[in-house]
Chains A and B, each alone.
Chain A
Amino acid sequence: EIVMTQSPATLSVSPGERATLSCRASQSVSSNLAWYQQKPGQAPRLLIYGASTRATGIPARFSGSGSGTEFTLTISSLQSEDFAIYYCQQYNNWPRFGQGTKVEIK
């Protein structure tokens, strides 16, 4: 079983600033890594797949990087609508999600 660990649990950021979220896999998942955004009362929305490919309609301020066991989601300049919980998910060996990082307003 691959365990996904996200850090930090909560990230306090001011609007316009850069946010960097981390996701670590307990063993290599190659580039089979997706990121999702979830706002209160809504379903998760796919942001990134293949570790670095933005999903359709996702703004360019969202970028993903990494491979193997270490991954990063970067939001280059936080907008008000970006404050949410972000989850990573590996799909190298049966889908597993991280516990999430909450991005809150500083």
Chain B
Amino acid sequence: EVQLVESGGGVVQPGRSLRLSCAASGFTFDDYAMHWVRQSPGKGLEWVSGISWNSGSIGYADSVKGRFTISRDNAKNSLYLQMNSLRAEDTALYYCAKDPLVLGRVDGKNWFDPWGQGTLVTVSS
């Protein structure tokens, strides 16, 4: 069974940084692209970033480009999201999600299955 477990969320002041992690199990992690998707009451569901199986293709939403960095460690079956210069509008539940296609790219033609349970990020002074 595929399991995705996020961690690293918390309360952080505007302008500060936070690093999220996602531990994956139950599948061959280095065969699949992975993504971060966030959900907030105000903005709903929003794709944040994705990274291909070999880190060869990476994408970001315009809202986080230049501030967030996605990465992965295939040896550790782990996905990461480094979030810098955090803003109040980054407050959300952040989900880790698996790309369904084997050896898929991050090319804008991505959907998500399955999702983890999420980790909550609150940006507030």
CB within 8 Å of B: which residues of A? 32, 34, 42-46, 49, 55, 87, 89, 91-100
Q: Is B44 an interface residue (CB 8 A)?
A: yes
Q: Is B14 an interface residue (CB 8 A)?
A: no
**A97→B39 CA distance, assembly (Å):** 11
Q: Are B115 and A92 in contact (CB under 8 A)?
A: no
Residues of A within 8 A of B95 (CB): 43-44
Instruction: Give the number of chain B interface residues (Cβ < 8 Å).
Output: 20
Q: Is B100 an interface residue (CB 8 A)?
A: yes
Residues of A within 8 A of B117 (CB): 42-43
**A23→B66 CA distance, assembly (Å):** 32
**A85→B47 CA distance, assembly (Å):** 18
CB within 8 Å of A: which residues of B? 37, 44-47, 59, 61, 95, 100, 108-118
Residues of A within 8 A of B112 (CB): 34, 44, 46, 89, 95
Residues of A within 8 A of B44 (CB): 87, 97-100
Closest chain-B Cβ to A104's Cβ sits at a distance in Å of 18
Closest chain-A Cβ to B121's Cβ sits at a distance in Å of 16
Given the known A-B contacts A49-B100, A95-B47, are A43 and B116 also in contact in the complex, defined by CB atoms under 8 Å?
Answer: yes
Given the known A-B contacts A87-B45, A100-B44, are A46 and B113 also in contact in the complex, defined by CB atoms under 8 Å?
Answer: yes
Q: Are A97 and B46 in contact (CB under 8 A)?
A: yes
**A99→B44 CA distance, assembly (Å):** 6
Residues of B within 8 A of A92 (CB): 108-109
| Smallest Cβ-Cβ distance to A50: which chain B residue | B111
| Smallest Cβ-Cβ distance to A94: which chain B residue | B108
Q: Are A32 and B115 in contact (CB under 8 A)?
A: no
**A87→B113 CA distance, assembly (Å):** 14
